[in-house]
Structure 1
Amino acid sequence: MRDYIKTILRGVGQVMLQNNALTGLLFLAGIFYNSWLMGLGAVMGTIVSTFFAKSLKYPKEDIEDGLYGFNGTLVGIAILFFFGINIFTVLAIIVGAALSTIIMQAMEKRVPAFTAPFVVSTWVVMLGITIFNLTPLLSSPLPQNSSLDLFSTVSMGVGQVMFQGNVVTGILFLLAILVSSRVAFAYALFGSLLGGLSALLLTLPLNAINVGLFGYNAVLCGIALGTKKWNGFILATFATILSVLLNYWLGRVGVITLTAPFVMATWMALFLKSKLKEKI
């Protein structure tokens, strides 16, 4: 039972690429601080996706490292964030989390999956909910702002990785990353800051900037690509700025972006890196 709990916590930690049970526990603490409902969604999604991987006999080491948990974590949070809780959304979490596990296994053989299984499975489930008109999409208007709040921008940018628009939650998330890796902590801060400032320079909506909506994909880009070397810093910077542009462009055409800008920007950065290596 103790090992299973650690597996679940590592799954939550892997949302920000941290194979650390304490990190996962602190992430959950941050989510529950802001929303007990989304906290339950995170736990449920992680359990379902992990159990499904076990039942399909996927590699034991990968399961124990939480690699089949984190996409389910995000599915559970996202469904409750967008639709609230009822019998249909509980079923949607089960279907979406299980689907994310299958997609993860299929993608990992070809490309680094990151959070792509979460994005695809959540889009599929949300489409199904919408087509069959099972439950309405919740609306949450953004606060109106007349000036940049940099502290809020950076902290919420980290929190919004898991749909948490809360300063304290963002700080708890940063502490959770620091427990696991100082480099990841530095790049999470850097990504959130650069994402917010890039959006500001592009004159994107200030209210969206202040609540971290242009920071969370940038946070993930920074953690995924950033290293102690200059090439890692340059790659992370490139992907961070690109994620802001993708987030804006996809939003303009009506796409619920989730973490798709992070995945796309990181794949593009890794592709460019591989091409540059071939020429050297």
Structure 2
Amino acid sequence: MSAAPHEEPLDALRTLLRSFGQIVLQRDAATGACVLAAWLVSDARLACAALTGAIAANVGAVLRGYACADTRDGLHGFNGALAALAAFTFIADDATAMAVAILAATAAAWLLGPWERLLRSRGLGVYSSPCLLVTWAWLPLVHPAPTRAAGSEAIAWLDPLRGLLAGIAQTSFACGALAGALILGGIALSSMRAACFALVGAALATSAQWLAGAGGASFDAGLLGFNGALVALAVADCGALAALAGVGVSVVLQQVAAFHGLPALTAPFVVATWTTRRLMRDTRRTRANSPDCPPEDGAAPGHREQASRAVLPER
């Protein structure tokens, strides 16, 4: 009995950390702690935003009567954290950003139930789509008018490893190589294989977009690699070929959005993952001797195939 007062706060902390871990598709509190550390070394404002969003989303999930087990696994908190991070990324005024963050995170949690049922009826996973829908609802009110993507810039002077790690950092809105190293280390604590997939996915996406003419500033900021890293994480259980195909689709989608000056956020990751997993399942159904690719509502590294995704300008 004496231990009970100490168990509830620890459980709440684990729930928050798992919500952060689910952003990079890992149901692991240690991964979430590394993601939180990445925000702190990047910008403490981001850590505040993520905590606010995850708490608001979890409260909203409780009020909606969603399964407590899913909440403890971080499945309701990660989209709320992402929605709040988006608010603090696009809105300069802290007071306005906080108000939008709380409302957006709560809306993402309330949207999750019916949206998940709709997607699962079509064999699709949720990933970060609730965050995308909520963010796109208010983003036109604050985002500047679309502009054409800048032309390519020389990047010979940039450190490729720093740009690659910055791409890993952008999966959770963080900036910089140190933040990326912390997040990659957190993924490795949960799964070394997942960390390798994330690193290779970011490298492939970054290289492809640079060769396609993406700007050096975007390379240095890590904006070229985060969707590729997330896709590779989401389809890692389907094998290297699926990951390669998914990264390719995400690169094309991100280039199209950049060309039109649209804030794609993590839509390239979500759509590429939906497309790749559907194609892999359809292909493997025709091969009686091939292992079946796990369904999108059943078993990814985190999210139980609801996966997550992050956001930033140009995303």
Q: TM-score, normalised by structure 1?
A: 0.90
Matches of 1:8 and 1:50, distance apart in 2: 9
User: Residues 183-204 of structure 1, C-alpha deviation per residue, up to 9 Å, x if partnerless?
Assistant: 1111111111111111122232
Q: Establish whether residue 149 from structure 1 lines up as the match of residue 156 from structure 2.
A: no
Q: Establish whether residue 246 from structure 1 lines up as the match of residue 256 from structure 2.
A: no
User: Residues 99-123 of structure 1, C-alpha deviation per residue, up to 9 Å, x if partnerless?
Assistant: 1112322232222001111111111
Q: TM-score, normalised by structure 2?
A: 0.80
Equivalent residue for 1:123, pick from 136, 159, 184: 136
Equivalent residue for 1:256, pick from 256, 263, 272: 263
Aligned to 2:244: 237
Count of residues paired in the alignment: 269
Equivalent residue for 2:51, pick from 43, 47, 52: 43
* 1:153/1:193 contact within 8 Å kept: no
* 2:91/2:142 contact within 8 Å kept: no
Matches of 1:118 and 1:268, distance apart in 2: 19
* 2:60/2:106 contact within 8 Å kept: yes
User: For 1:108-187, what aligned pairs fall within 5 Å after superposition?
Assistant: 108-109=116-117, 110=120, 111-129=124-142, 145-147=154-156, 148-187=158-197
Identical-residue share of aligned pairs (%): 28
User: For 1:1-280, what aligned pairs fall within 5 Å after superposition?
Assistant: 1-109=9-117, 110=120, 111-129=124-142, 145-147=154-156, 148-227=158-237, 232-280=239-287
Q: Structure 1 residue 34: deviation in Å?
A: 0.8
Q: Which has the higher helix share?
A: 1
Q: Structure 1 residue 145: deviation in Å?
A: 4.7
Q: Structure 1 residue 249: deviation in Å?
A: 0.5
AA at the equivalent of 2:198: A
* 1:153/1:192 contact within 8 Å kept: no
Matches of 2:71 and 2:272, distance apart in 1: 26
AA at the equivalent of 1:237: L
AA at the equivalent of 2:139: M
Over 3 Å counting, the alpha-carbon distance change for 1:129 and 1:82 in structure 2 is: closer
Q: Structure 1 residue 97: deviation in Å?
A: 0.5
* Unpaired stretches in structure 1, ≥5 consecutive residues: 131-135
* 1:145/1:207 contact within 8 Å kept: no
- Bigger RCO (CA 8 Å, 6+ sep): 2
Matches of 2:246 and 2:215, distance apart in 1: 21
User: Residues 207-249 of structure 1, C-alpha deviation per residue, up to 9 Å, x if partnerless?
Assistant: 212321110000100111113xxx5110011111211111111
Secondary structure, in 3 states, of the residue corresponding to 1:219? helix
